[in-house]
Protein backbone atom coordinates (compact mmCIF):
# COMPACT_ATOMS: atom_id res chain seq x y z
CA UNK A 1 0.00 0.00 0.00
CA UNK A 2 1.33 3.43 -0.98
CA UNK A 3 1.67 5.82 1.92
CA UNK A 4 -0.18 9.13 1.78
CA UNK A 5 3.03 11.04 2.50
CA UNK A 6 4.73 9.51 -0.55
CA UNK A 7 1.75 10.33 -2.77
CA UNK A 8 1.69 13.95 -1.59
CA UNK A 9 5.44 14.36 -2.05
CA UNK A 10 5.10 13.23 -5.67
CA UNK A 11 2.24 15.65 -6.39
CA UNK A 12 3.33 18.66 -4.33
CA UNK A 13 6.78 20.16 -4.21
CA UNK A 14 7.90 21.84 -1.00
CA UNK A 15 10.41 24.68 -1.28
CA UNK A 16 12.00 27.22 1.01
CA UNK A 17 13.58 30.59 0.34
CA UNK A 18 15.13 33.35 2.41
CA UNK A 19 13.57 36.79 2.18
CA UNK A 20 14.49 40.34 3.19
CA UNK A 21 11.36 42.04 4.50
CA UNK A 22 11.24 45.80 5.09
CA UNK A 23 8.30 47.13 7.11
CA UNK A 24 6.96 50.31 8.61
CA UNK A 25 7.96 50.33 12.31
CA UNK A 26 4.56 51.74 13.31
CA UNK A 27 2.96 48.39 12.35
CA UNK A 28 3.19 45.29 14.52
CA UNK A 29 5.59 42.82 12.88
CA UNK A 30 3.70 39.84 14.35
CA UNK A 31 0.51 40.97 12.62
CA UNK A 32 2.40 41.39 9.34
CA UNK A 33 3.92 37.90 9.58
CA UNK A 34 0.53 36.38 10.40
CA UNK A 35 -0.90 37.98 7.27
CA UNK A 36 2.03 36.65 5.21
CA UNK A 37 1.32 33.18 6.61
CA UNK A 38 -2.22 33.51 5.26
CA UNK A 39 -1.03 34.02 1.66
CA UNK A 40 -1.94 31.16 -0.65
CA UNK A 41 0.72 28.39 -0.93
CA UNK A 42 2.80 29.64 2.04
CA UNK A 43 3.07 27.05 4.80
CA UNK A 44 5.67 28.37 7.27
CA UNK A 45 7.23 31.79 7.97
CA UNK A 46 10.18 31.95 10.37
CA UNK A 47 12.22 34.97 11.47
CA UNK A 48 15.96 34.37 11.09
CA UNK A 49 17.19 37.94 11.65
CA UNK A 50 20.42 37.95 13.69
CA UNK A 51 19.88 39.12 17.29
CA UNK A 52 22.64 41.72 17.05
CA UNK A 53 21.18 43.46 13.96
CA UNK A 54 20.54 47.18 14.57
CA UNK A 55 17.28 48.55 13.21
CA UNK A 56 17.01 51.92 11.46
CA UNK A 57 14.45 54.42 12.78
CA UNK A 58 12.29 54.75 9.63
CA UNK A 59 12.23 51.11 8.44
CA UNK A 60 12.28 47.78 10.24
CA UNK A 61 14.20 44.88 8.68
CA UNK A 62 13.38 41.19 9.13
CA UNK A 63 15.17 38.29 7.47
CA UNK A 64 12.70 35.46 6.96
CA UNK A 65 12.68 31.87 5.87
CA UNK A 66 9.50 31.10 3.95
CA UNK A 67 8.40 27.58 3.09
CA UNK A 68 5.79 27.09 0.40
CA UNK A 69 4.09 24.40 -1.65
CA UNK A 70 3.81 24.33 -5.42
CA UNK A 71 2.65 22.01 -8.15
CA UNK A 72 4.45 23.93 -10.87
CA UNK A 73 7.49 26.11 -11.37
CA UNK A 74 8.58 27.63 -8.01
CA UNK A 75 9.91 30.88 -9.51
CA UNK A 76 6.51 31.66 -11.05
CA UNK A 77 4.87 30.99 -7.69
CA UNK A 78 7.36 33.30 -5.97
CA UNK A 79 6.33 36.15 -8.26
CA UNK A 80 2.67 35.48 -7.46
CA UNK A 81 3.42 35.34 -3.71
CA UNK A 82 5.32 38.64 -3.92
CA UNK A 83 2.46 40.21 -5.85
CA UNK A 84 -0.09 38.95 -3.30
CA UNK A 85 1.90 40.46 -0.43
CA UNK A 86 2.70 43.82 -2.03
CA UNK A 87 -0.29 44.67 -4.22
CA UNK A 88 -3.98 44.99 -3.62
CA UNK A 89 -6.49 43.55 -6.05
CA UNK A 90 -8.23 46.93 -6.18
CA UNK A 91 -5.36 49.31 -6.87
CA UNK A 92 -1.61 49.00 -7.44
CA UNK A 93 -1.07 51.99 -5.15
CA UNK A 94 -2.49 50.22 -2.09
CA UNK A 95 -0.48 47.62 -0.22
CA UNK A 96 -2.29 44.36 0.33
CA UNK A 97 -0.59 43.70 3.66
CA UNK A 98 -0.46 46.98 5.58
CA UNK A 99 2.99 47.90 6.84
CA UNK A 100 5.03 46.03 4.22
CA UNK A 101 7.32 48.43 2.36
CA UNK A 102 9.42 45.95 0.37
CA UNK A 103 10.02 42.23 -0.04
CA UNK A 104 13.16 40.86 -1.71
CA UNK A 105 13.94 37.19 -2.30
CA UNK A 106 17.61 36.36 -1.62
CA UNK A 107 19.24 34.89 -4.73
CA UNK A 108 20.60 31.37 -4.35
CA UNK A 109 18.49 30.43 -1.34
CA UNK A 110 15.62 28.72 -3.17
CA UNK A 111 15.79 24.99 -2.51
CA UNK A 112 13.49 22.02 -2.59
CA UNK A 113 12.92 20.37 0.76
Model pLDDT for residues 1-13, shown as the tens digit of each residue? 567 777 666 667 8
Give residue-wise pLDDT tens across range 36-88. Answer: 999 999 999 999 998 888 888 899 999 999 999 998 899 999 999 999 898 75
Structure confidence at residue 45 (pLDDT): 96
Give residue-wise pLDDT tens across range 78-95. Answer: 999 999 898 755 555 555
What is this structure's pTM? 0.81
Residues 6+ apart with CB under 8 A from 26: 99
Residue 30 vs residue 6, higher pLDDT: 30
Q: Are 109 and 18 in contact (CB under 8 A)?
A: yes
Amino acid sequence: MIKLKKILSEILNNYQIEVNLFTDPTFNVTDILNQIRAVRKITIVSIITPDDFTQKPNVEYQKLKIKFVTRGEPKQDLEKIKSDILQSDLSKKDLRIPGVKSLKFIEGTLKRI
